[in-house]
Structure 1
């Protein structure tokens, strides 16, 4: 996929499950920090609270239940 061609890898080493979903790379702490692929739901959460950290926290919490 396009992300893999750019050198982006999942933390667990698995391939991205879907190649047809548009996403964005979020690096909240700059180039030396962690990076996250975020999708449409990230922007949906940001409409409620414009903080990237808040939206990322909601997404990470939700993923822990999945």
Structure 2
């Protein structure tokens, strides 16, 4: 998904998308899939994982 967004940005700016220059991982959470009141989180098998990353790509002419 990040690469697709970067490719669209490069296309819109009449540039070529290059290699990944840097990637970092930021915010990371694991939560129960269904956040039902009074449900025991540890017993929930299905989870929602949210990971926020920053990816920097090189652009060329």
Q: TM-score, normalised by structure 1?
A: 0.25
Comparing both structures, which one devotes a greater share of its residues to helix? 1
Comparing both structures, which one devotes a greater share of its residues to strand? 2
Highest Rg: 1 or 2?
2
> Of the two structures, which has the highest relative contact order with CA contacts closer than 8 Å and spacing of 6 or more?
2
